[in-house]
Amino acid sequence: MPWSEQSIMSQRHEFVMLFEQDGVNRRELCRRFGISPTIGYRLLARWRQEGQAGLADRSRRPQHSPGRSAAETEALVLGVRDEHPAWGGRKIRRRLHDLKHQPVPSASTITAILHRHGRMEDTASAGHKPFERFERAAPNELWQMDYKGHFATAAGRCHPLTVVDDHSRYAIGLRACGDEREGTVQGELTAIFRRYGLPERMLMDNGSPWGSSDAEHRHTWLSLWLLELGVAVSHGRPYHPQTQGKDERFHRTLMAEVIGRRAFADLAECQHRFDVAGGVQHTAAA
């Protein structure tokens, strides 16, 4: 059997004493002690060089790590992470690419750097598993639209209206609204349409002002307006926000990086903050 944990040092000492005797069958001795001949000869060499200390367990950590990222690269990764604590490997990699840093590490390498320097807890990524992406084939085929949960400002409440392109995850619209009325949405969408054109279809949930639970009057005034413009309308399954997963994921990023626990004076300040954040990050969630 392998070494006994209770007396591993004494067994190793006994082994090398027997191993050094003349005429001993060393392979048979290794078999009796439950180790390979390679380990046996290695222990003997360590014993002859270092004595008793050579029989102690040694760290398996490599003395050299030629594949480890350069200190400059690691410092740059950590700097971006400190500036954006909610970002993971993929977003930081995109940021390094935008900064023209060469070479740009892979997302997994960046994640390893964050773990190694204590910037990411294991529990934070334990539930993240590989998944299959579903997206439209081209921009403007489908936009997802919803309101992020409203929050208080000194002058009232802000209702962030978000519009995300399903293919590119580009934040088509991020507007600080004072309410969630159909007319407000129409005004904001009109400005967005003039800038980006009309999408083929828009995906929304079933709540006001997007839809209605009344089977006889399932279309609201807002959805009829979209249909008249030639924009098809789809609604997610009731109580299944994952249908609009890209927009929901954008909401999580919006809360973590833009809104947080900041205090805002009014809608104008909210919109300024949204615009500044949009100038740095254009995608919803990588």
Is the N-terminal amide bond of 66 cis, ω within 30° of 0?
no
- Single-letter amino acid, residue 145: M
147 strand-pairing partners: 161
Phi/psi of residue 9, each to 5°? Answer: -70, -40
Query: 237: buried, middle or exposed (CB in 10 Å: 19+, 13-18, 0-12)?
Result: exposed
The answer to pTM > 0.85 is no
Report phi then psi at 250, rounded to 5.
-65, -40
Q: Mind listing the pLDDT tens digit of every residue in the chain (286 residues)?
A: 454 444 777 888 888 888 888 888 888 888 888 888 888 888 888 888 888 787 777 666 655 555 556 788 888 888 888 888 878 888 888 888 888 777 888 888 888 888 888 877 655 554 454 444 566 788 899 999 999 889 999 999 999 999 999 898 888 999 999 999 999 999 999 999 999 999 999 998 877 787 765 555 567 888 889 999 999 998 876 666 566 778 888 888 888 888 888 899 999 999 999 988 775 443 434 3
Is the preceding peptide bond at 160 cis, omega within 30 degrees of 0?
no
* Tokens standing for residue 163: 């519009």
CA distance 174 to 168: 16
Asked if residues 175 and 150 have their Cβ atoms less than 8 Å apart, the reply is no
Please count the other Cβ atoms lying within 10 Å of the Cβ belonging to residue 64: 6
